[in-house]
Amino acid sequence: MPQETMLPSASPVRFVAEDGTRADRHGAYAEPASDRLREAYRLMVLGRRFDVQATALTKQGRLAVYPSSAGQEACQVAAALVLEDRDWLFPTYRDSVALVARGLKPGEVLTLLRGDAHCGYNPVETSVAPQCTPLATQTLHAAGLAHAMQRRGEDAVALALIGDGATSEGDFHEALNFAAVFKAPAVFFVQNNRYAISVPFEKQSAAAALAYKGIGYGMRSEQVDGNDAVAVLAVLGDAVQHARAGRGPVLVEAHTYRIDAHTNADDATRYRDASEVAKWREADPLKRLETYLKSRDLLQEQEIEQFKADAETFAQTVRDTLNAEPELDPLSLFDHVYAEPTRHLEAQRAALRAELEA
């Protein structure tokens, strides 16, 4: 692939400015259809309410931990919307809103963060890999599965969600190299929210943008305004089409911001100023999309109120689900370790069963 076709845009792709007015920094990218934008708005309203509710549940002891994605809803929802049912999503621990947008139930999404099990849903049935806590390991899984689907002749793409901190891990670079060499149908989507826990971006990388890291592996790369839902949908959608057409993987970097702390256990005031957070609140992706859609008569006030009401109903479902005590089977610890349990594993299961029955 010629180097000029791999280079990302000189500045992040943008369709909509912070104030909701039209911006002209989108090059040859086409604006997504109106119904797709309305659906993105609906899911962003739902996702934000889910995020607020999940954060509140940590304070009530119903969740062990919750990494908020407030401010990153455009990225989260777009990642779910650009995929077909047959495509695979590889999320991290911060991507619960993407799973909700994908259609998973709140109890399934929050099982990991509640501490009940490593995964609360069937990855094969949902085409969603377990939420990944170790940084960047999901990128290897995505590259491997994408290559496997390619070898089987399947018309499917794997999309891996990544934080900026994960790009400093060796697994990330191994995954990009493997995917590029084999032209695997994979999209690596970096949500650069400016902090890897407490480490600011400028102390992680000297690159002008993380999007440039794909060039060294011979991979098409792009950068996008991650708080502009229109732009993220356009760029990610194009990347998925590129990968699906057999033209190789794509690296996309979204410039966004984590409004809340790393998790509910983190004190973000120790490493960033309130003025910085306030500045990014002005770039709110939800408000930006709402203003843009209203200016084009694609969204009415009564629809906004209905979406908010639906989100409140959904939040009640989240509360009811998490307020119910889980029924856990200790013997399930041995499920899904191997496709065929080993002799030693069966012996351990039997020993635990005997201890529980004693």
Would you please indicate which residues are annotated as catalytic (active-site) residues?
258, 262, 271
79 closest CA partner among 252, 212, 217: 252
What crossing angle do the helices spanning 229-244 and 285-295 adopt, rounded to 10°?
A: 100
| CA 122 to mean position of chain CA atoms | 18
What crossing angle do the helices spanning 34-59 and 285-295 adopt, rounded to 10°?
A: 150
Looking from the CA of 333 toward its CB, the CA atoms found within 13 Å total 11
Q: State the DSSP string of 338-354.
A: -SS--HHHHHHHHHHHH
Our CA dihedral for 134, 140, 141, 144, rounded to 10 degrees, sits at: -170
45 closest CA partner among 67, 20, 77, 92: 77
Looking from the CA of 276 toward its CB, the CA atoms found within 13 Å total 15
Fill in the amino acid letter for 340. E
